[in-house]
Structure 1
Amino acid sequence: MPVSAPQAGVAAQSADAPARQAAQGPGSSLTLLVIEDDPAGALSVPRMLDAYGRPVRVRTARNLTEAARLLTDDVHCILLDLALPCEARGDTDEASPEGFPAELPDAAPPGAIPGIGGVPGSAAAAPGGTGGTGATSGAVRGVSGLSGVSGVSGAAAAAGGSGAPGASAYGAPAVPGAGPAPDSDELQILRRVLRMAPRHAVLALTDGSDAERAAEAVRVGAQDYLFRDELDGRLLMRAIRYAVERKRADLAQRQLTETRLRAQENARLERGLLPRPLLEGSDLRFAARYRPGRSRALLGGDFYDTVRTPDGVVHAMIGDVCGHGPDEAALGVELRIAWRALTFAGLCGDVLLSTLQKVLENERDSEEIFATLCTVDIAADGRSAGVCLAGHPSPLFADDGAGAAPRLLPEDESGPALGLLPDARWSRRQVALGRSWSLMMYTDGLIEGRVHEGRVDEGGTEESRADGGRTEGSRTGAGAGDGRTPGRERLGQQGMLDIVARRMAEGAQGERLLDETMDEVRRLNGGELTDDVAVLLLGRGR
């Protein structure tokens, strides 16, 4: 039936302008969809103005088939007459040519309030808060004022499936002890509207003598209810704003909860993927530090591992997949697990690296993806090691027994990174370690940080450059000595070597040495490093 529009309640709109502005933006006027078929013509929706003086648009549907057609993205709220005659409902529960499907495609993105730019708004009007309809003179009752329903959220639609009969606001069974509500079958129309419009606010309209059914409507999923004989412009406008903001708050809260749960699940997954060294029976010291470059991530494209095989040999590995995203992190985990399995199978050196390259070639998303790698196999007596380099920076070695300054192991026998050359080969260099030593393996994130000229070191003396006045030729990395970034040169391997030497001279070793080294690199960089960083330290003696 047509909806009349008397002037009642227009003057009351100005007092609630802030709440109206929270419920709608300046670029859109509020739209109300009324679903009713009152043959007596008793239902009259008053004329209402939005916060900018524009008339609230009212659409009327006589059954659910018409409602499905009129329910567009610019509809903010649905006013549903619970007394809608059975013949006006469009169809039975089963879909028919005269009705609408049980589930309609969602036009708006998840979490969006239809008609408000598709962007979920602020949860300013939480249930029971200021501006809720519970503040009116009793004609419009918020959920917090319902006896026996306190604390029940009205966002059954936000749960994405509250249309199931007997479901509560979040798809759980109805309130324990409440028992079946009278005329529960009459609420089937509400359940179907909630399935049809899971992201729209819904107001239930009923007789003043049927308060129990109104309360049940809120438990089923409506944001609020109104009594037909107490309807006026002021109360209806406040109820609409309350319902829209409550729905917005419920959707925002649901999104936050889902995001939090997803983040916790990802964190547990990433922690499970981090390596656990297997060094039982070895007298070697072990320490490691890991920091992904991605914000709020626990795992990056860098990877490392250390295991001891039954023959007493300790195998250590550190690598770096090019890139910083989750795909690179996943590939790094695959390579690490493959390395551990191949090592326990007895492979090492060129055979192991060739097999890892096959794994990389089959698992990478693009042929442009490659990975650098450094492997060290320490003999059972701890006095010698075999080192393989696949495009990776050479480890830092310190002969603690001789008291010599730390140095970089030779890189002249380094092979290409994994994934670059199909038929590549990698040589294995034997290195004498001695009785007491320290070996530090690292990824390029540690040496590619920037340094300032004229920085003051911790001792209070001003350095002409971070590497203590060395020539530009001793630096590594892009931008070194080319004049492109004056005062912002790369730290390089030599700069990192100087930091470690200074810390070791001060007595730092193990985890303290790694912490102080990374702190100094960050300080010289002027903040956090942008690349993934992994550092592994093995030692013997002392």
Structure 2
Amino acid sequence: MSSGDGDHDGAEPAHGSLPCVLLVEDDDGDAVLVDELLSDAEIDVELRRVVSVSEAEDEVATGSVDCLVVDLGLPDAVGLDAVQRLRRAGTRHAAPPALVVLTGLGSVDRGVEAVAAGADDYLVKGEVGPDLLGRSLRYALQRRRSVAQERALYRSEVRAAETERLEKALLPRPLVEDPAVSVMVGYLPGGEGLLGGDFFDTVETADGRVLSVIGDVAGHGPDEAALGATLRTAWRTLVLTGTPPEEIFAGLETVLRTERARPEIFVTLCQVTIAADRSTVDVCLAGHLAPMLLTGPVGGVRCSVVRPVERGRALGVPVPGGWPTQRIPLGEPFAVLTYTDGLVEASLAAEDPPGPAAGGRRRGALRVGLAGLADLVQDELDTDGIVGIVERVLRRVRRLHGGPLVDDAAMLVVGWTGADDVPGERSSTLADSVEWAR
């Protein structure tokens, strides 16, 4: 219902035409009193009511509540439990609802404690009138709007800083001299556009081998991004100092155990080593998804998923086992496509234009999946070839998902054109969510 006929003086809603005030009160008499006070307070709001903290948590979860007015004497909350629970529920949203508590005449101290615990204001039953109630709600709603603006500014500043770090640390310049080697990379940040721990790199050694790695740090956020950048730098250092490919993962695990913030953090990796004569590819997996091989002449490139003989354990997981290497012979121009699980875990929330790829399936499928991603890559190869394949696949997956992905997604394609006079493609794509939303 709507209460009051005057201006709402800065109380702008996040949803709907009026700010939504949710009264959490199990006493019918007190609920009627609050309704009457709001009617006289000259503040336009939509007043709704629930009788327990559990019901209030469900309402807050919808994101439609702008302000909570909470009685501290509820049947399913003791002491400040109501304030703490509702504050936790609100943190899931960019603009958590404001919170005003109601206390009895003999519980003023509890009101002060509630403010210290995170409430915006407190009101004493029996002493509050229309003016005081209206002023308290206006203040709480205005504070909520200010917090939302500050968070938006912070996210914008962090995104800019993280993007700069991404370009320097997670999208490094490949150290490859062979002009016939292609290196195509792309990164699509998930969530709010902040970085996670996906990373990749490619280095050509003095003897002509080309080593590539793609990795995924468990988790999402600045700590994981920093750890991913550290591991990428460590990997490059190990390669440049002549560490045999089969010993690199052990060195990286030592760095991981030293640098990770929590002992439960682990990392998955896929390392690809292209022989100096380009006749074989060695694949080493540490709990990571298997790569895809792109083989065949221009205009007829085929995509196939490597079937790993054995998959090594993820780095940082306290279980026995090493990291076996699988050698794949190749006799023609090829490319190896590696990726992180943000691509296969993307949901199919939006329809895709009809086509033979699994990505063309309609609503109903839960996620892209490995087979769907392989079909999608093949569809893009059949349509426009291998040039620009990374950016096209990232755009397609994002479109299928219906917007920014939940998790980060990275893709690295390293290949050989088959002749020195046929130059390989070199490209780097930072798929910024804001830019791609235009």
Task: Please show how residues 480-491 of structure 1 align to structure 2 within 5 Å.
Answer: 487-491=364-368
Structure 1: gaps spanning 5 or more residues: 1-16, 23-51, 54-116, 119-247, 470-485
Matched, 1:517 2:393: yes
Secondary structure at 2:302 match in 1: coil
State the partner residue of 1:271: 167
Letter in 1 for 2:252: L
Q: Contact 1:287–1:536 at 8 Å: present in 2 too?
A: yes
Q: After alignment, is 390-399 or 262-271 more displaced?
A: 262-271
Aligned mates of 1:490, 1:264 — CA distance in 2: 30
Secondary structure at 2:232 match in 1: helix
Given candidates 403, 408, 413, the residue that maps to 1:527 is 403
**Which gives a bigger RCO, structure 1 or 2 (Cα 8 Å, sep 6+)?**
2
User: Would the alpha carbon gap of residues 456 and 310 (structure 1) be closer, same or farther in structure 2, given more than 3 Å must change?
Assistant: closer
Q: Contact 1:286–1:537 at 8 Å: present in 2 too?
A: yes
Aligned mates of 1:371, 1:330 — CA distance in 2: 13
C-alpha distance after superposition, 1:278-308 (max 9, x if no partner): 11244201111101214133x3210000111
Shift of residue 441 of structure 1? 0.7
User: Would the alpha carbon gap of residues 265 and 530 (structure 1) be closer, same or farther in structure 2, given more than 3 Å must change?
Assistant: closer
User: Would the alpha carbon gap of residues 300 and 309 (structure 1) be closer, same or farther in structure 2, given more than 3 Å must change?
Assistant: same
State the partner residue of 2:273: 377
C-alpha distance after superposition, 1:15-46 (max 9, x if no partner): xx99xx67xxxxxxxxxxxxxxxxxxxxxxxx
Aligned mates of 1:539, 1:303 — CA distance in 2: 19
Provide the aligned C-alpha RMSD in A.
3.7
Q: Contact 1:315–1:377 at 8 Å: present in 2 too?
A: yes
Q: Contact 2:335–2:413 at 8 Å: present in 1 too?
A: yes
Aligned mates of 1:538, 1:350 — CA distance in 2: 19
| Higher strand proportion | 2
C-alpha distance after superposition, 1:125-159 (max 9, x if no partner): xxxxxxxxxxxxxxxxxxxxxxxxxxxxxxxxxxx
User: Would the alpha carbon gap of residues 537 and 466 (structure 1) be closer, same or farther in structure 2, given more than 3 Å must change?
Assistant: closer
State the partner residue of 2:227: 331
Task: Please show how residues 64-463 of structure 1 align to structure 2 within 5 Å.
Answer: 264-274=160-170, 275-297=172-194, 299-401=195-297, 403=300, 405-421=302-318, 423-451=320-348, 455=351, 457-458=353-354
Aligned mates of 1:533, 1:447 — CA distance in 2: 9
C-alpha distance after superposition, 1:487-521 (max 9, x if no partner): 1422111111111112212242132x122222222
Aligned mates of 1:285, 1:395 — CA distance in 2: 16
User: Would the alpha carbon gap of residues 502 and 327 (structure 1) be closer, same or farther in structure 2, given more than 3 Å must change?
Assistant: same
Shift of residue 361 of structure 1? 1.2
Secondary structure at 1:358 match in 2: helix
Aligned mates of 2:292, 2:371 — CA distance in 1: 10
Structure 2: gaps spanning 5 or more residues: 1-5, 11-40, 43-97, 100-142, 423-438
Q: Contact 1:294–1:325 at 8 Å: present in 2 too?
A: no
Task: Please show how residues 475-514 of structure 1 align to structure 2 within 5 Å.
Answer: 487-511=364-388, 513-514=389-390
Shift of residue 452 of structure 1? 5.9
Aligned mates of 1:408, 1:258 — CA distance in 2: 43
User: Would the alpha carbon gap of residues 526 and 269 (structure 1) be closer, same or farther in structure 2, given more than 3 Å must change?
Assistant: closer
Secondary structure at 1:450 match in 2: coil
Letter in 1 for 2:200: Y
Q: How many residues align?
A: 283
Aligned mates of 1:396, 1:514 — CA distance in 2: 13
User: Would the alpha carbon gap of residues 264 and 517 (structure 1) be closer, same or farther in structure 2, given more than 3 Å must change?
Assistant: closer
Q: Contact 1:397–1:438 at 8 Å: present in 2 too?
A: yes
User: Would the alpha carbon gap of residues 362 and 391 (structure 1) be closer, same or farther in structure 2, given more than 3 Å must change?
Assistant: same
Percent identity reads 36
Q: Contact 1:350–1:425 at 8 Å: present in 2 too?
A: no
Q: After alignment, is 523-532 or 285-294 more displaced?
A: 523-532
Shift of residue 429 of structure 1? 1.1
| Higher helix proportion | 2
User: Would the alpha carbon gap of residues 302 and 439 (structure 1) be closer, same or farther in structure 2, given more than 3 Å must change?
Assistant: same
Q: Which has the larger radius of gyration?
A: 1
Tell me the TM-score normalised to structure 1 length. 0.46
User: Would the alpha carbon gap of residues 539 and 281 (structure 1) be closer, same or farther in structure 2, given more than 3 Å must change?
Assistant: closer
Shift of residue 456 of structure 1? 5.3
Shift of residue 323 of structure 1? 0.8
Letter in 1 for 2:406: T
Secondary structure at 2:196 match in 1: coil
Secondary structure at 1:328 match in 2: helix
Aligned mates of 2:244, 2:322 — CA distance in 1: 13
Tell me the TM-score normalised to structure 2 length. 0.57
